Structures are given as structure tokens and as C-alpha cells.
Amino acid sequence: MNRILLTGLVFGASLAAFGQTEMPKPAYDLSLPREEKIKLAESAAPPEISGHATVYLLEQTGYVKIREGTNGFSCLVDRQTPLNLEPTCFDAEGSATTLSTRLYVEEQRAKGKTEERIKTEIDEGYKTGKYKAPSKPGIVYMMSDRGYLLVPGSNKLVHIPPHLMFYAPYATDKDIGSPPGAANMPRVIRPGQPDAYIIVIPGPLAQPGH
């Protein structure tokens, strides 16, 4: 559940290059106008995808579906900690599996449960079959330039670059050859867990003639 591991596993010492900022209050403002919330959720994927996706908005009681999509994708502003801001679009496979845990987390936060209690319940849900790991390859778009993650042990948020994630249930770094820790190399987050991902940060587009 703690995608904040992304900071250590993927960016390492290069975090500073993406800019840290003191932001002790939640990055996601529930008072944002509805249209701004929608735009933020849709910013995770190209408009050809997010414009036809189901959209969830975060309200006081948790996520609320405000649009039914036609392409199987689901877009929302994820929060792996209450301070994070992570525009995310799951494909059809993620929408049928991982998404349900995200919806549950915010519903339980709204009820006042602790992060530790929620994590325990999610872990137990995977063990009992209430929640399912993705059963086939798929993609999660996180291509927004408005993403922030909490730096563990601090009140700082770090701006994260646009990136892509691919389902890799129970995978570890060894499964992808344990690549060096450079920021532009693929890494596994949530290693060994049912919601593990391989994360890839696309490089700059090649210029014509190169």
C-alpha cells in the first residue's frame, strides 16, 4: 500500500532534482472545484484514454464515481498516504482488481481508522480472496506532472516525474535482473506483494534525425 517506497527505490539520491517542498498539509484539497478535480484525475493519462475513462472524485466520505467510462479505464487522484497527490489511471484489469483496495482505503480513512489498521485489513483481504491481484499484464498511467509523494520521516513532499507502471504481482527486483538504482532504470515497487508493479520513467522523446 505504501507507494512512498517509490522515493527510495526509484529516485534515490536524485530526488532533489525533482524538487522538495515543505507541505505538511494534504496536497489534495477537497475544496477544489469539481471541474478542477476532474482535470486533475484525467491528467494521469493521455486525453484519448482519460477522456473516455470512468472518473472517481475524492469527497469527505471517500471516492465517488461521477462518470461512467466506455474504455475500461478508471481515473482518480490516488493517495497512498493522506498527504500524497497521485493522479492515476488504471486499465481494465486494474479497475477490476487493484482499484477496489484504493476505494476501500479512502472509505475507511473517512471513518477515522488508522493507516496501520487499514493496511492490516487490506492484507487480510488479499489472503481471504476479498481482493484479487491482477491476473494478466496491464498498465497504470501516472503521466501527470502534478504528482507528489511524501518523503518518509518528514513533512516534505517530492514532485515525481511522469511515469508508467505495469502489474507484476509478487515480483521482486531479482525478477527484472536487479538493475542498478539509477532513476531512469525500471524498478519494482511493493516487491513480493500482490499489488507489486514495475515502474518505468519514460525518457525524453528523440528529436527528428537522431
What is residue 147's predicted lDDT score, i.e. its pLDDT? 94
CB-CB contact of 87 with 144 (8 Å): yes
Grid coordinates in use for 3? Answer: 507507494
What is residue 5's predicted lDDT score, i.e. its pLDDT? 40
Q: Which residues pair with 88 in a beta bridge?
A: 76
CA distance 93 to 133: 9
CB-CB contact of 76 with 33 (8 Å): no
What is residue 180's predicted lDDT score, i.e. its pLDDT? 83
What is residue 204's predicted lDDT score, i.e. its pLDDT? 64
* pLDDT tens-digit map of 88-104: 999 999 999 999 999 99
31 or 12, higher pLDDT: 31
Highest mean pLDDT of the ranges 19-28, 157-166, 180-189, 201-210: 157-166
